[in-house]
Chain A
Amino acid sequence: MVAPIELEIGEAIGAPVERKEDHKLLVGQAQWVDNMRVPGMAYMAVVRSPYAHARITRVDVAPALAHADVVAAYSAADLQEEWAGSLPCAWLPTEDTKAPPHLPLAADKARYVGDGVAVVVASSRAAAEDAAELVEVEYEPLPAIVDPEAALAEGAPLVHDELGTNRCYTWRLDAGEVDALFDEAEVIVRGRFRQNRLIPTAIEPRAVLVQPLPANGEFTMWSTTQVPHIARVTLSGVLGIPEAKLRVIAPDVGGGFGSKLNVYAEEALALGLARRLGRAIKWTEGRSEGYLATIHGRDQWQEIELAANADGKISAVRARVVAAMGAYLQLVTPGIPLLGAWLYAGAYDVQGYSFECTGVFTHTTPTDAYRGAGRPEATYAIERAVDALAAKLGKDPVEVRRLNFIREFPNAIAAGLTIDSGDYDAGLDLALGTAGYKELRTEQAERRAKGDPKRLGIGLSTYVEMCGLAPSKILGAIRYSAGGWDTATIRCLPTGTVQVLTGVSPHGQGHETTWSQIAADLLGYDVDEIEVLHGDTAVVPLGMDTYGSRSLAVGGVALYFAAERIVAKARLIAAHKLGVEPSQVDYVRGRFTGPEDSIALKDIALAAWTAHDLPDGVEPGLEASFVYDPPNFSWPSGAHLAVVEVDTETGNVEVLRYIAVDDVGTVVNPLIVDGQIHGGIAQGIAQALFEEAVYDDDGNLLTGNMVSYLVPSAPDLPSYELDRTETPSPTNPLGVKGVGETGAIASPAAVINAVCDALAADGVTDIQMPATPERVWRALEEAKR
């Protein structure tokens, strides 16, 4: 192994480079799974339970088989032998976590509306969907339970009878003398909050296409997935297909936000049917079908208590969460609320910390990762509680935050992890300055004084989050089944271009551009001379895919280290060519310079390929790989400030301004970083004001399509005012942290703090998300009584 050379960061890193991905997307040449057709392809449709809880007493597929265009139709029992194992859950957080079997079709009982009970294959999608309605299923409906707290009560209907309980697990984290600190506290504030259930709604519905090669036992699966690598390793287990015989490709993928960080029944069904029928199988989700069959997010009850002194200095935090798992455990369902487990004290310096989470089965669509995954929930609880503390003490929320900020970095927080870097005051200063905080408070007071029915509210959220998932050792310690490393390969081609292979799998984030900037910067190429390959298990090395704001902080750092290896090897060849010792050769951005002469890295790439004259012991070719396992999480932080107008006559909330100051470490591409923050804020405002998946008591999803589930459109949202501070992460040589989720993490708290601030003088102290006009109006009426 050649000793690496530390590389300098140049100008391509940090430049607002226009995205390489955009042209094909703008002219309609994207490769969506739903566009694809292969010879012999048949279409699959899934018959789904209309009941949230029912015994399945009879399934008769014969009427569907009688349809002229139907190729095959199967009940769960018919397909039993296809499955070598359950659909995967990769995170069972305690030894006694209950993980009931989860096969691609339900055989004995349906456990949520949308649970698959039979499958039909036909020569067209329309025929498959028509014939699915011909399948006769007899159900014996049973009582359902949809609220996770109610599901814990004695006598509640059981989702999985054999477990004897709906409790999936209880996970605890205790640090410091929490009880003693609460006993000594001069002030205690308590909050109880609802994390509304959300439907991720990537605009591209899910789709899968499997093409078998029966003679070789090989399968190629194109899937709308964030996780082609995880899909391959787990689906090979579900189907009993040797991992090496399964190729998974994520082509262009139209957004995910966590919903495509999963391994779904339909992927397994398409593989199983392709194997059984020996022909290609395709399935595309209808949107309303997807609202039942694709994971949901959040759905938690939270309780938080702060112990503080009379000045507002917080000494301890106690948090308790009851989280809905839904009817089954999907890929990381139980772990999602735990990704917030270390963050219920937020950006504040406390001595005592206690967190407990109970996961509960309910007769609902399974929950799993949705943008932020655990961290928006934690941030919401602490930021709402800090505002409650300020209100109780009659202090400005800014003052209480400043009194409690963590100021020394790296900082070993009470919860047990170490925050890498930050400057929380700097972010808050910038946000307050941009907002004109004092002037806003003056305007607020003036409106109140003159009895303006439109109240002004100002809400803060000074957050810190942990992302860049994750150090493999820590993942092991919290019982996650895989590692958190990732891979990069750099292949310098002989004709002056470069292939970068990455183990992460973008679905809208612009990694091709960002990775090109990094490689171009470090190796002295033009951005356009770099080609980034991803998302195909037959092309790229094993990786861990894209979720949890990990791609740049793990995969991007792997790319840096691979570049170091390229330069180290190329320097040996350069020295040989220049007739000097390697130690006499300097490297600056694509060029090696000796005492007298210099040579370009591109020329070394050609020389390494011809291999006519290499130093002894040096292998031909200029290619290097690096697998990077981060030593710590990365810790973005910031200050968000929402200004809202609340109409006390109608209950309507309008976000007038939204200011976001974020510290995501080193910024590689400011266009892309700002875009990520915009999108995250929009989703967070949506959680705060618009979106909620609602079930009735029988477990029917009342918001089962895009008409009834309110995804905000352009007129519903403000323009965002962005700024940033930059404290590079000392954990990695690029100094990067991660940006995919910050907006969604910070913004629900900022918006609801603003709404409650607007109505504080009216006696309103809390409004459950989403703060719809009806909820706001009712809160005002309640406060009048």
Chain B
Amino acid sequence: MRRVSLSVNGDQHELELEPRELLVYVLRERLGLTGATVGCDTSSCGSCTVLLDGESVKSCTVLGVQADGHRITTIEGLAENGALHPLQESFRTHHALQCGYCTPGMVMAAVSLLAENPRPSEAEIRHALEGNLCRCTGYQNIVRAIEAVA
């Protein structure tokens, strides 16, 4: 077991973690933050995407102990004072989600994209989402939702 200090959505957590615990399970099972979901076991689907120091990572490919001392933002930490983040709002108005299982990861990937590239083209948006799979929407409305905020 190793002592780890995590800042998650602005809250400080001191945890004793097994070295093998993946960040996504630390978030889901230790901290009760079940917004990030697990859709695969090969780092393919991106449902578990969160921000690590502001950049998107797949939290199934980060060990909890690797996140020691870092700042993590999950979908639960995106809305401010009860107001949805513009991307969350845009996903709703553009019907960019159906079952919603991939949505937290998709939104976090989009947040990261726009932080790096505030005016992406459609092709750039599609390329940036390559690591986030959605089985319901066919992606079109997700792309539109991101374009509308960009």
Contacts and interface: CB of A to CB of B under 8 A. Distances in A.
B51 interface: no
A631 B107 CA distance: 44
21 contacts: A18-B95, A21-B100, A25-B97, A27-B35, A27-B78, A28-B74, A28-B75, A203-B134, A203-B136, A254-B101, A255-B136, A287-B45, A509-B98, A675-B137, A678-B141, A706-B42, A711-B44, A711-B133, A713-B131, A715-B127, A715-B129
B39 A714 contact: no
B12 interface: no
Given A28-B34, A509-B98, A719-B140, A287 B92 contact: no
Q: Which 6 A-B pairs have the closest CB atoms?
A: A28-B35, A508-B99, A25-B100, A254-B101, A682-B138, A706-B44
Interface string A11-44: 0000000110111011111101011000000000
A609 interface: no
Interface string A121-160: 0000010000000000000000000000000000000000
A507 B103 CA distance: 14
Contacts of A126: 20
Interface string A364-392: 00000000000000000000000000000
A27 B74 CA distance: 9
Interface residues of A, number: 53
B15 interface: no
Interface of A: 18-19, 21-23, 25-30, 32, 34-35, 126, 201-205, 252-255, 257, 286-288, 507-510, 671-672, 674-675, 678-683, 705-707, 711, 713-715, 717, 719-720, 743
A181 B106 CA distance: 55
A212 B78 CA distance: 37
B125 interface: yes
Contacts of B33: 28
A131 to B, nearest CB: 15
Contacts of B98: 255, 508-510, 675, 679
B102 interface: yes
Given A19-B95, A203-B134, 13 more contacts: A23-B84, A23-B92, A30-B100, A32-B34, A126-B20, A202-B135, A204-B101, A288-B40, A678-B137, A679-B135, A682-B138, A683-B135, A714-B143
A101 B139 CA distance: 42
A167 to B, nearest CB: 34
B72 interface: no
A412 to B, nearest CB: 35
B91 A714 contact: no
Nearest to B139: A714
Nearest to A35: B34
B115 interface: no
Contacts of A671: 95
Q: Which among B40, B47, B78, B132 has the highest number of chain A CB atoms within 10 Å?
A: B40
B130 interface: yes
Nearest to B125: A714
A713 B133 contact: yes
Nearest to A24: B100
Given A35-B28, A254-B101, A203 B138 contact: no
Contacts of A255: 98-99, 101, 135-136
B93 interface: yes
B130 A713 contact: yes
Contact of B76 (A27, A202, A672): A27
Interface residues of B, number: 55
Contacts of A288: 40-42
B104 interface: yes
B93 A18 contact: yes
A675 B136 CA distance: 8
A34 B143 CA distance: 28
Most central of A21, A126, A288, A706 by chain B CB within 10 Å: A706
A255 B104 CA distance: 15
A585 to B, nearest CB: 40
B93 A713 contact: no
B42 A678 contact: no
Contact of B138 (A28, A34, A681): A681
Contacts of A201: 135
B39 to A, nearest CB: 5
Given A35-B34, A509-B98, A679 B136 contact: yes
B140 to A, nearest CB: 5
Contacts of B47: 203
Given A28-B34, A679-B135, A714 B126 contact: yes
A286 B75 contact: no
Contacts of B127: 714-715
Interface in B75-101: 75-76, 78-79, 84, 88, 91-93, 95, 97-101
B40, B93, B133, B135: residue with the most chain A Cβ atoms closer than 10 Å: B135
Contacts of B143: 714, 719
A524 B71 CA distance: 49
B138 A287 contact: no
Nearest to B144: A719
A477 to B, nearest CB: 34
A27 B75 contact: yes
B36 A28 contact: yes
Contacts of B97: 22, 25-26
B136 to A, nearest CB: 5
B99 A202 contact: yes
Given A204-B99, A715-B126, A32 B39 contact: no
B75 A287 contact: no
A580 to B, nearest CB: 46
B91 to A, nearest CB: 6
B38 interface: yes
Contact of B41 (A21, A705, A714): A705
A675 B95 contact: yes
Nearest to A286: B41
Nearest to B98: A508
B26 interface: no
A675 B91 CA distance: 13
A705 B42 contact: yes
B56 interface: no
A26 B126 contact: no
Given A26-B88, A255-B98, A509-B98, A713 B40 contact: no
B105 to A, nearest CB: 9
Residue among A286, A507, A508, A510 with the most chain B CB within 10 A?
A508
A22 B100 contact: yes
A26 B141 contact: no
Contacts of A202: 99, 101, 135
A203 B133 contact: yes
B139 to A, nearest CB: 4
